[in-house]
Chains A and B, each alone.
Chain A
Amino acid sequence: MASIPSQPASAARTGSGSPAASLLVSLAPLPHDAFESTLSNLSQAFAGATVLVATPDQPVGAADAFDQTMDGSTEDSAGYYFDQDWASRYNNLQLLTELPAVPPPSAWVLTAADFLNAYKLAQQHGASACMLLGGESQSLTPEALRSLAAAVGGTGEGVIGEGGAPNGKGVDLAVPRYEFGPRDGLVNSAILYPVTRAVYGARPRFPLAVDLGLSLRMAERLAIAAQRFTASGQNDAILWPVAEAAVAGYTIAEVNVGRRAIPQPATPDLNSLLARITSSLFSDVEARAAFWQRSRIAQSNARPTQPAGGSDGFADLDIQPMLDSFRLAYTNLQEIWSLVLPPNSLLGLKRLATSPAETFRMPDALWVRIVCDFLLAFRLRTINRGHLLGALTPLYLAWVASHILYARSGVDPEYHVEELAQAFEFDKPYLVSRWRWPDRFNP
């Protein structure tokens, strides 16, 4: 494995030539400007502390230095190269541009390869905590970076956030809470967040966050889970750290990080992306059935603490294409839906299909049942899984249309999402019951 550890001349070294650092920051591939900006933010966030930064990108001049090092012309005793410009700009960052153990796919979410590589580097360099930053990480402020790292005790500061362990020990998993607009992250609001909250009893608003703070033992656990995928060549497999932490009984904290630009998938094909994400989530839920069937959820009536996105964000949206898509699906996909959904849900969809656009509202209870029944059908393989998840797309679009109409009628979108999450929690006994006895009569 080729390794080009670069470090500033001013950094203090340990006996092995590496400075003492307790936090490893793993970066996703970034464009040059974004990379520089991220490094600047990191340097500012952790001023006074040495931080290891693992990146697939190379700073300006690093490649030349690497060539010279290979020629043996400027090689020092520890194999580091020195760059005065770097040293002056980011004197507290130690860059690790090592080739990753597993080639990471250029994905818009954190993948199995990312978790495995981060843990290996953290173990190799003796870091006590990791911070994984996804694409567009230049939009994270230094305060956000510091908060995320502090939550896992990576910089020796106290824990902030919602569920952190006291006394500065740090939690095992720090999940950022982004300030999204009302029209962002709708799959997360409709499925990922409420299902994760209801099934595992874990409340982070973004279970599939693109940035994470991990304690070393959490990183190790995720690396073990990731290895099952990377061993079979599935480097781009999606992991669910919140579920992993919940099952392990590790502490989870949610950290407010403010606004952040969220990286978007390269191919904006909703059908395939929704199928991929829901398939991964449903598989994860299926694999952890023994845990979540036993776990009890503390019901909460907490209202959204985050500033509301406002309902005016939906003013210029045209929902008619979504309604048309749903109605077209209703006339064509009934045969498939009837294999998955009970008569009561089908009746609800019939009413929805015939209702005019002004009064088009999908009740939360109906959406909860739809997701639960699709999850059950996924588990039972009632129909081919590709077909099943393809048949979910028009229903999801109907939910989105309904969500927009709720918001336009004055309901805070975030409030609606919280209501939906509570509806999922209340209906968990239905999921458990049908999971255990799927053949029982279900009107």
Chain B
Amino acid sequence: MGHLTALALQLQAAQPVSPAALAPSVWEHMSAALRDSVYRVLSLLISLLPGVLALVLAIGVLTAIGGLVSYLVRRILTSLQFDERIARSRPTEISSSIQDWVPSHSPTVLVARTVFWLHVLLGFVIGISAFDASYSTASQMSVFLLPYLAHSVGAIILLLVGNIIARFLSRSVLIGAVNAKLTYARFLSLGVKWLVLVLTAAMVLDHLGVGGAIVELAFGILFGGIVLTLALAVGLGSREIVSRSLERTADRMPPRGPFATPEQPVKPEPVAKPTGTLRHF
């Protein structure tokens, strides 16, 4: 037994040791690199966590405060009979337009909801500020990313408002044009819609700081093109109407200058016969 052990030791001593066997393997290198990456990502995430927490906390707290303030405002306005006072004081012209936007005919509810959403917005702004402060590292990413994040709130609001206005104007034009019996009503409506949407998109991109001069230039070309197209379409379509109108105006105008004849009384246009008409009222 002792003889065999001695032989084995001799053999082991006789074999040369390879350098690859002694150095760490490729897999070990890769796993180490991955471990480092994961560590860095986790470190970054952990460094972001306070900011995210602050954002969520700010929104949550301000939402709760907003709910409370909204409730109080509603109670106070109800006790002050705010709706009745508004109904008595507001002028006729704006009354109907206000009513279109007021939920359930109640200005009190409108004020309360506005107060609530202002608080939510305030919470979002404060949260973003806190997030920005907690993430004030020297990394390049924060320099580029955070302005977009901060401006994205305004951009989203712009986008929403722009869409609402585009839809409202588009419908207004469509209904007005159809009732005016214009055969190109849909075309007009789409034109107005896309004008507003293009304007909105340009404003959003400008607000985000994307594109710079390219957006302005592209917007100018696109907007100008749409307006020119519409002007040509309407102008060509109503060429005869305009010429007839101009002819009528020219006929009514008395001649001027040294050869002008004494002013003749303008002959009134014949009134349409009442036959063939309907009286809706």
A interface residues (Cβ-Cβ under 8 A, vs B)? 108, 183-188, 228, 231-234, 236, 262, 264-265, 270-271, 273-274, 277, 279, 316-318, 321, 324-325, 328-329, 331-333, 336, 381, 383-387, 390-391, 393-394, 400
Interface centre among B176, B189, B280 (most CB of A within 10 A): B280
Considering the chains assembled together, what is the distance between the CA atoms of A289 and B89 in angstroms?
Answer: 26
- In the complex, the answer to whether A383 meets B181 with C-beta atoms within 8 Å is no
Contacts of B245 in A (CB 8 A): none
- In the complex, the answer to whether B278 meets A183 with C-beta atoms within 8 Å is yes
Considering the chains assembled together, what is the distance between the CA atoms of A336 and B280 in angstroms?
Answer: 24
What is the number of contacts between chain A and chain B, taking CB atoms within 8 Å?
92
- In the complex, the answer to whether A262 meets B179 with C-beta atoms within 8 Å is no
- In the complex, the answer to whether B281 meets A265 with C-beta atoms within 8 Å is yes
B207 interfacial by beta-carbon distance below 8 Å: no
B173 nearest CB across to chain A (Å) = 11
CB nearest neighbor in B for A187 = B280
- In the complex, the answer to whether B178 meets A264 with C-beta atoms within 8 Å is no
Complex partner residue of B168 from A233, A336, A384, CB under 8 angstroms: A384
Contact with A along B172-209 (1 / 0, CB 8 A): 10111111010101100100000000000000000000
- Residues facing A in B136-180 (CB within 8 A) are 168, 171-172, 174-179
- In the complex, the answer to whether B178 meets A332 with C-beta atoms within 8 Å is yes
Contacts of A277 in B (CB 8 A): 281
Question: What are 16 A-B contacts defined by CB distance under 8 Å?
Answer: A187-B281, A232-B90, A233-B91, A234-B92, A236-B92, A262-B279, A271-B176, A274-B280, A325-B178, A325-B179, A328-B185, A383-B171, A384-B100, A385-B96, A391-B175, A394-B178
Contacts of B279 in A (CB 8 A): 183-186, 262, 264
A290 nearest CB across to chain B (Å) = 15
B176 nearest CB across to chain A (Å) = 7
Considering the chains assembled together, what is the distance between the CA atoms of A332 and B177 in angstroms?
Answer: 10
Considering the chains assembled together, what is the distance between the CA atoms of A233 and B91 in angstroms?
Answer: 6
B233 interfacial by beta-carbon distance below 8 Å: no
- In the complex, the answer to whether B87 meets A232 with C-beta atoms within 8 Å is yes
Contacts of B181 in A (CB 8 A): 321, 324-325, 328
B interface residues (Cβ-Cβ under 8 A, vs A)? 87-92, 95-96, 99-100, 168, 171-172, 174-179, 181, 183, 185-186, 189, 275-281
Contacts of A271 in B (CB 8 A): 176, 179
Considering the chains assembled together, what is the distance between the CA atoms of A390 and B168 in angstroms?
Answer: 13
Contacts of A317 in B (CB 8 A): 276, 278
Contacts of B278 in A (CB 8 A): 183, 186, 317, 400
B90 nearest CB across to chain A (Å) = 6
Complex partner residue of A234 from B95, B99, B280, CB under 8 angstroms: B95
CB nearest neighbor in A for B104 = A381
Considering the chains assembled together, what is the distance between the CA atoms of A270 and B99 in angstroms?
Answer: 23
- In the complex, the answer to whether B175 meets A336 with C-beta atoms within 8 Å is yes
- In the complex, the answer to whether B175 meets A333 with C-beta atoms within 8 Å is yes
- In the complex, the answer to whether B92 meets A232 with C-beta atoms within 8 Å is yes
With A332-B185, A394-B179 known as contacts, the answer to whether A228 contacts B87 (CB < 8 A) is: yes
- In the complex, the answer to whether B281 meets A390 with C-beta atoms within 8 Å is no
A127 nearest CB across to chain B (Å) = 29
Interface centre among B99, B179, B185 (most CB of A within 10 A): B179
Complex partner residue of B175 from A183, A233, A324, A390, CB under 8 angstroms: A390
- In the complex, the answer to whether B171 meets A387 with C-beta atoms within 8 Å is yes
- In the complex, the answer to whether B281 meets A262 with C-beta atoms within 8 Å is yes
Considering the chains assembled together, what is the distance between the CA atoms of A264 and B278 in angstroms?
Answer: 12
Considering the chains assembled together, what is the distance between the CA atoms of A421 and B175 in angstroms?
Answer: 28
Considering the chains assembled together, what is the distance between the CA atoms of A381 and B103 in angstroms?
Answer: 9
Complex partner residue of B179 from A108, A184, A393, CB under 8 angstroms: A393
Considering the chains assembled together, what is the distance between the CA atoms of A187 and B90 in angstroms?
Answer: 30
Considering the chains assembled together, what is the distance between the CA atoms of A30 and B112 in angstroms?
Answer: 49
A87 nearest CB across to chain B (Å) = 39
- In the complex, the answer to whether B88 meets A390 with C-beta atoms within 8 Å is no
What 5 A-B pairs are tightest by C-beta distance, nearest first?
A: A390-B175, A184-B279, A234-B92, A231-B88, A271-B179
- In the complex, the answer to whether A108 meets B281 with C-beta atoms within 8 Å is yes
Contacts of A324 in B (CB 8 A): 181
- In the complex, the answer to whether A386 meets B95 with C-beta atoms within 8 Å is no
Complex partner residue of B281 from A185, A228, A234, A381, CB under 8 angstroms: A185
Considering the chains assembled together, what is the distance between the CA atoms of A277 and B280 in angstroms?
Answer: 11
Considering the chains assembled together, what is the distance between the CA atoms of A400 and B278 in angstroms?
Answer: 9
A335 nearest CB across to chain B (Å) = 8
B78 nearest CB across to chain A (Å) = 19
- In the complex, the answer to whether B178 meets A333 with C-beta atoms within 8 Å is yes
With A187-B281, A264-B281 known as contacts, the answer to whether A386 contacts B178 (CB < 8 A) is: no
With A186-B279, A186-B280 known as contacts, the answer to whether A329 contacts B178 (CB < 8 A) is: yes
Contacts of B99 in A (CB 8 A): 385
A184 nearest CB across to chain B (Å) = 5
Considering the chains assembled together, what is the distance between the CA atoms of A321 and B95 in angstroms?
Answer: 35
Contacts of B178 in A (CB 8 A): 325, 328-329, 332-333, 394
Contacts of A265 in B (CB 8 A): 281
Contacts of A316 in B (CB 8 A): 275-276
Contacts of B168 in A (CB 8 A): 384
- In the complex, the answer to whether A273 meets B281 with C-beta atoms within 8 Å is yes
7 new A-B contacts, CB < 8 A, other than A186-B278, A332-B186, are A185-B279, A188-B281, A274-B280, A279-B96, A331-B186, A333-B174, A400-B278
B231 nearest CB across to chain A (Å) = 22
Considering the chains assembled together, what is the distance between the CA atoms of A185 and B185 in angstroms?
Answer: 29
- In the complex, the answer to whether A233 meets B92 with C-beta atoms within 8 Å is yes
Considering the chains assembled together, what is the distance between the CA atoms of A394 and B179 in angstroms?
Answer: 7
CB nearest neighbor in B for A318 = B276
A166 nearest CB across to chain B (Å) = 35
Considering the chains assembled together, what is the distance between the CA atoms of A390 and B176 in angstroms?
Answer: 7
Considering the chains assembled together, what is the distance between the CA atoms of A391 and B189 in angstroms?
Answer: 14
A367 nearest CB across to chain B (Å) = 15
Considering the chains assembled together, what is the distance between the CA atoms of A233 and B89 in angstroms?
Answer: 8
Considering the chains assembled together, what is the distance between the CA atoms of A313 and B87 in angstroms?
Answer: 46
Considering the chains assembled together, what is the distance between the CA atoms of A97 and B95 in angstroms?
Answer: 32
- In the complex, the answer to whether A232 meets B89 with C-beta atoms within 8 Å is yes
